[in-house]
């Protein structure tokens, strides 16, 4: 996958960065993070312009976020059915819904970079639930600035160690996602059990 990202950037330059970040925000399996790291590395060697790389990745991500939002909002039940049809998509959709219930508008921001695997599904859930578009767009822009700056910046800074950085970031993202989901499940179980505990009859005084 690392070789693929490097070859894509070498062959197609900045336009491929825009296309891949756009598609990744629609939940398509493309190596967007690796591509941004690779493009940052190429910028460090002078083969690409750093500002052009950042602008392409940022614009692709923001456009992808908003496209996913409006597709879900416009299609409604059809999008919901598509998400539920495949077990993995359904699981990610439910995790994204729980994440939004927990964090509200800021969930869009965090899903862009902190728990990136949930990002496209938070976009879809936001559209399905008719989350206010202006709030969605503003939180998304802030999150994509962090995501793009993180990956392009690390690729630029550590151009000679892109593979190692990609591995570290991939493991960290998966760990953070697992921790977040576990915390949400724990909170849900606590909320479910709390009313039952509160309703326990008082013991009569002797």
Examine residue 204 and state whether it is found in any structural domain, yes or no.
no
User: Which residue range(s) make up the domain with 105?
Assistant: 2-197
Examine residue 106 and state whether it is found in any structural domain, yes or no.
yes
Examine residue 206 and state whether it is found in any structural domain, yes or no.
no
pLDDT 10s digits, 69-121: 999 999 988 999 999 888 999 999 999 999 998 898 899 999 999 888 899 99
Examine residue 179 and state whether it is found in any structural domain, yes or no.
yes
pLDDT 10s digits, 62-73: 999 999 999 999
Examine residue 205 and state whether it is found in any structural domain, yes or no.
no
Which of 160, 182, 82 lies closest to 128 in space, CA to CA?
82
CA angle 147, 63, 163 (to 5 degrees): 35
Number of domains the chain contains: 1
Examine residue 203 and state whether it is found in any structural domain, yes or no.
no
Cα dist from 17 to 21, 36, 88, 152, 195, whole Å: 6, 7, 26, 11, 50
């Amino acid at each position: 996958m690392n070789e693929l990202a490097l070859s894509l950037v070498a062959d197609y330059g900045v336009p491929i960065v825009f296309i891949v970040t756009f598609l990744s925000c629609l939940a398509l399996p493309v190596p967007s993070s690796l591509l941004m790291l690779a493009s940052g590395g190429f910028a460090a060697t002078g083969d690409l312009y750093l500002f052009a790389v950042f602008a392409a990745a940022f614009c692709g991500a923001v456009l992808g976020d908003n496209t996913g939002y409006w597709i879900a909002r416009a299609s409604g039940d059809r999008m919901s059915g598509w998400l539920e049809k495949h077990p993995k998509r359904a699981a990610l959709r439910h995790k994204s819904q729980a994440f939004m219930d927990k964090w509200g508008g800021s969930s869009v921001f965090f899903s862009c970079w902190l728990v990136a695997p949930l990002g496209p599904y938070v976009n879809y859930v936001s559209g399905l639930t008719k989350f206010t578009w202006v709030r969605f767009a503003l939180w998304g822009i802030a999150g994509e600035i962090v995501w793009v700056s993180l990956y392009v910046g690390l690729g630029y800074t550590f151009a000679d160690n892109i593979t190692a950085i990609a591995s570290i970031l991939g493991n960290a993202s998966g760990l953070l996602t697992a921790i977040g989901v576990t915390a949400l499940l724990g909170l849900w179980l606590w909320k479910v059990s709390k009313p039952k505990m509160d309703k326990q009859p008082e013991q009569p005084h002797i």
